[in-house]
């Protein structure tokens, strides 16, 4: 049986166009794969950053609540830092040494990005760790005990929040 008009028989004639088809396919893939990968990475970074900020906002609400309630009040806050598929979290850092410039600031850093700062305002809540330094947490599930304390100073009694990582 003869092939239909305009169609070639399978064999040597069909293999001649294969290298050109492969070349065109490789060029198309070489152009589109980096674009798709960078889009996925940007989406993942935005998702991880939104989760970190959401956890920080929840933490700020809890800390402001005990700060307003006064010394002796405490709260246990669960803080989940889940990394993304392509974006990792280097750290989240709370407060500073007592009276330090960053005592009312929460800092965080994602992989390959500059450190970002979030100030705690209305009310301004000074924080320190139980070791009189900033409290640093790493990725994963963390529990932080926050307790409002006070210290006497020449200006009067000042309240602040002491943070302790609970395992």
pLDDT digits (tens, 9 = 90+) for 82-117: 888 899 999 999 999 988 899 999 999 999 899 999
The answer to whether 118 and 64 are in contact (CB under 8 A) is: no
Question: Starting at the edge strand that comes first in sequence, how are the strands of the sheet with 156-166 ordered?
Answer: 74-81, 140-153, 156-166, 127-129
pLDDT band at 152 (very low <50, low <70, confident <90, very high): confident
Instruction: Provide the whole-model pTM.
Output: 0.79
Q: What is the CA radius of gyration of the chain?
A: 28
**What is the H or E stretch that residue 158 is in?**
strand 156-166
- Rounded to an integer, what distance in angstroms lies between the CA atom of residue 98 and that of residue 162? 10
- Write the CB contacts of 74 (distance below 8 Å, at least 6 apart in sequence): 66, 145, 146, 147, 148
Show the tokens assigned to 75.
């709260």
Return the number of other C-beta atoms located less than 10 Å from residue 44's C-beta. 15
Mean pLDDT for the chain? 89
Question: What is the tens place of the pLDDT at every residue in 2-54?
Answer: 656 655 555 555 566 788 889 999 999 999 999 999 999 999 999 999 999 99
- Helical ranges in the chain per DSSP H: 12-15, 18-69
């Amino acid at each position: 049986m003869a092939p239909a008009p305009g169609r070639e028989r399978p064999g040597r004639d069909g293999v001649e166009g294969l290298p050109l088809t492969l070349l065109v396919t490789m060029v198309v893939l070489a152009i589109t794969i980096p674009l798709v990968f960078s889009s996925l990475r940007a989406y993942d970074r935005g998702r991880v950053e939104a989760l970190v900020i959401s956890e920080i906002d929840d933490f700020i609400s809890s800390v402001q609540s005990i700060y307003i309630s006064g010394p002796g009040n405490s709260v246990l806050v669960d803080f989940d830092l889940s990394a993304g598929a392509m974006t990792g979290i280097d750290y989240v850092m709370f407060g500073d040494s007592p009276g330090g410039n960053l005592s009312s600031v929460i800092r965080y850093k994602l992989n390959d990005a500059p450190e970002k700062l979030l100030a705690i305002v209305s009310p301004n809540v000074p924080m320190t760790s139980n070791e009189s330094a900033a409290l640093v947490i790493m990725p994963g599930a963390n529990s932080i005990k926050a307790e409002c304390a006070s210290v006497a100073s020449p200006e009067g009694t000042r309240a602040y929040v002491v943070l302790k990582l609970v395992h």
